Amino acid sequence: MAEYGEWNRKGATLSDVTAKKEYGVDRDFIMKGITAGKLEYREGAVWGNPYLRILRSQLEKFIIEELGESQLSTSKNQTELRKIKREIASLKQRLKELEARRTELENQTGR
């Protein structure tokens, strides 16, 4: 089912926890896809905590089949919006730091 090398490609896999954050699907939904043969998975553990690693492309196809394409696009848009807001906040903080440093340097040079 999976393409050659898909398991090793950056961003091609995600954990069940990340799937919940990005797509809003729970572990039961993922298990349903695994038992139906729609999702391939690999088991892993971090610090003794087990997780499932699944292929993003297969999960997206399964979400479209089960919940519809609108659910997939809505969850992807929400995820992208969260990332954008986080980056904007980070840039605002960095800008504030740079402006403070500029003011400090201007005061020291007497401008």
> Are residue 80 and residue 57 in the same domain, yes or no?
no
The predicted-structure confidence for 18-58, as pLDDT tens digits, reads as follows: 999 999 999 999 999 999 999 999 999 999 999 999 999 99
CB atoms under 10 Å from CB of 100, counted, come to 10
Position 109 scores a pLDDT of 87
Q: Where are the beta strands (DSSP E) in 25-99?
A: 41-46, 49-55
Q: Which domain holds residue 95?
A: 69-111
Position 1 scores a pLDDT of 65
State residue 43 phi and psi, 5-degree precision.
Answer: -95, 150
> Are residue 42 and residue 76 in the same domain, yes or no?
no
The predicted-structure confidence for 53-108, as pLDDT tens digits, reads as follows: 999 999 999 999 999 999 999 999 999 999 999 999 999 999 999 999 999 999 99
> At how many degrees (to 10) do helices 69-109 and 16-23 cross?
90
> Are residue 74 and residue 95 in the same domain, yes or no?
yes
Determine the 3-state secondary structure of 17 from DSSP: helix
Overall number of domains in the chain: 2
What is the model's pTM?
Answer: 0.77
